[in-house]
Amino acid sequence: MKFDDLDKKMRVFETASDHCVLPGVFMVARIDGRSFSRLTKDTHAFEAPFDVRFRDLMAATTEHLMDCGFQVIYGYTQSDEISLLFAREESTFRRKTRKYNSVLAGEASARFALLLGAHACFDCRICELPNPKLVVDYFRWRSEDAHRNALNAHCYWMLRKKGLDLNAATGRLVGMTTSAKNELLFENGTNFFDLPLWQKRGIGIYWETCEHTGINPLTGGSAVAKRRRLHREMDLPMREHYGLWVEQLLNAADPTRQS
């Protein structure tokens, strides 16, 4: 069999499950660390429940993904997960989800591992969101998840530091209300509302335009140029206010869009 015939025959098996996101549909990539509980607590012993170095590794990885060849409007990270909102007109790989999943997981794994200096692995999935309201709801969902996880993590590790083992600490929190968890922390010297906002709400990263003053090579005089750079927002708003904030990012990316 000639190579061209063999190639045509076998390509069918490689592309049979190809799925392309329809034009006009928003794409959000969700990238999660694989076995990061073991990586952060056993292999590298990051500080619990939150570690500034780990936070910065995740933020730097998010920034890399936003600047590695895709049109990404917004990046959000909390815990060991990253969410990327693509521009509505993003069309790399003809919007094939398997390509986004494989490339983004590979880029995240490589970047984080290089920064850490050790093996690390991420997986990826693509969420298809047909309208701006669902985009806002997605990021509100991840923000609320960050808040719940932060409260649970602080309670759990406070109990562990008081001598309870894994099962006892986990069991103590089962069925406990949010107000009861806040009171538990307060009774043990921690006011949850005073903790850094990045722990409770995650970190948002977006593109901003700034002015840069340089030298005009033709005239030798000073010249002002506009450049894009990534900005880390460590003090994100909450709930409805966060939803409005994300909506403003969408409007800024496409001022003519219809909600």
pLDDT single digits (tens) 159-172: 999 999 999 999 99
pLDDT surpassing 60 at residue 237: yes
Average pLDDT, the chain: 92
**Are 64 and 114 contacting, i.e. CB atoms less than 8 angstroms apart?**
no
| pLDDT, average across residues 239-249 | 95
| pLDDT, average across residues 28-38 | 95
pLDDT surpassing 80 at residue 250: yes
Give the CA count within 13 Å in the CB-facing half-sphere of 30: 12
pLDDT single digits (tens) 44-62: 989 999 999 999 999 999 9
Helices in the chain by DSSP H: which ranges? 3-15, 36-38, 52-66, 97-116, 132-161, 166-173, 178-187, 197-201, 239-253
pLDDT single digits (tens) 207-220: 998 877 767 777 76
Q: How far apart are the first and last CA of the chain?
A: 54
Q: 233 φ, ψ to 5°?
A: -100, 110
Confidence of residue 227 (pLDDT cuts 50, 70, 90): confident
pLDDT surpassing 80 at residue 255: no
Taking the C-alpha atoms of residue 48 and residue 40, their distance in angstroms, rounded to an integer, is 9
* Residue 100 pLDDT: 97
* Residue 60 pLDDT: 98
Taking the C-alpha atoms of residue 16 and residue 153, their distance in angstroms, rounded to an integer, is 43
Show me where the domains of the chain are located. 9-140+196-200
Q: Which CATH number fits domain 9-140+196-200: 3.30.559.10, 3.40.50.2300, 3.40.1390.10, 3.30.70.3000?
A: 3.30.70.3000
pLDDT surpassing 60 at residue 259: no
pLDDT single digits (tens) 65-88: 999 999 999 999 999 999 999 999
